[in-house]
Amino acid sequence: MKEIIGKKLGMTRVFGDDGQAIPVSVIEAGPCVVVAKRTAEKDGYEALQVSYGEKRKKLINKPETGHFEKGGVEPVRYLREISNNDELNVGDQIKVDIFKKGEKVDVTGVSKGLGFQGVMRRHGFSGAQKTHGQSDRMRAPGSIGQSSYPSRVFKGMRMAGKMGKDRVTVLNLEVVQVIEDQNLILVRGAVPGKKGTLLSIRKTNRQW
């Protein structure tokens, strides 16, 4: 399966052949270097460990330095595991040109953290009416349980709480453009996270 690591640069729009404006997310993807290979015999599963990003050498500790030296690659900021590819070996590069215009991809990342939010923003509650003296209940969730039986709040009750900062996968996004010399891939629509969010881009296995 084709897969690469990158980061979100933001959103813009491009124009298609018919002149239609297409909203796209701009992702800087790769180049990623294969640092190690996980095998079923040694590790119990198969995967590729790849590196991405830049990091000052003085910020890399001795264990990390030894790991990178073993793979014969320069130390970088991120280490992630992706799907195994028998054609790749330690030291090989994965570049954005593995994807072509028109292909469909799944993009995974961590969504924006929005902090503590009430039920109206978090779950779309409508709030209560300002009647019968309830002037302070307009944004409240209402009843969350019973007083006599079972005298508790059921698990999974939709309530106020922290919102966002979840691992999210957006499925079946179209590759609108690939700019190889700048390591950029443009996909239709929005992808998770804010500017600079680390993303995983892989070819989708869905047919719709």
Please name the residue that has the structure tokens 């909203």. Answer: 23
The reply to whether 68 and 42 lie within a common domain is: yes
Domain of residue 164, CATH code: 2.40.30.10
The reply to whether 174 and 190 lie within a common domain is: yes
pLDDT tens per residue across span 75-95: 778 888 888 777 777 777 888
The reply to whether 110 and 81 lie within a common domain is: no
Burial label for 34, CB within 10 Å (0-12, 13-18, 19+), is buried
8, part of any domain: yes
Q: Residue 64 belongs to what H/E stretch?
A: helix 62-71
46, part of any domain: yes
Domain of residue 88, CATH code: 3.30.160.810
pLDDT tens per residue across span 145-180: 888 888 899 999 999 999 999 999 999 999 998 988
The reply to whether 208 and 165 lie within a common domain is: yes
42, part of any domain: yes
135, part of any domain: no
Domain boundary (94, 112, 138) is at: 94
Please state the domain count of the chain. 2
The reply to whether 120 and 192 lie within a common domain is: yes
Q: Residue 41 belongs to what H/E stretch?
A: helix 40-43
Distance of alpha carbon 126 from alpha carbon 80, whole angstroms: 42
The reply to whether 85 and 104 lie within a common domain is: no
Q: What is the pLDDT of residue 92?
A: 79
The reply to whether 68 and 108 lie within a common domain is: no
Ranges of the chain with pLDDT below 50: none
| The 47-52 sheet, strands edge to edge | 78-82, 47-52, 32-38, 93-94
Distances (CA, A) of 179 to 26, 90, 96, 182: 10, 25, 8, 6
The reply to whether 72 and 170 lie within a common domain is: no
The reply to whether 81 and 171 lie within a common domain is: no
Q: What is the pLDDT of residue 207?
A: 65
142, part of any domain: no
Burial label for 26, CB within 10 Å (0-12, 13-18, 19+), is buried
Give the residue numbers spanning the domain of 208.
1-30+96-127+156-208
The reply to whether 180 and 81 lie within a common domain is: no
Distance of alpha carbon 191 from alpha carbon 79, whole angstroms: 21
110, part of any domain: yes
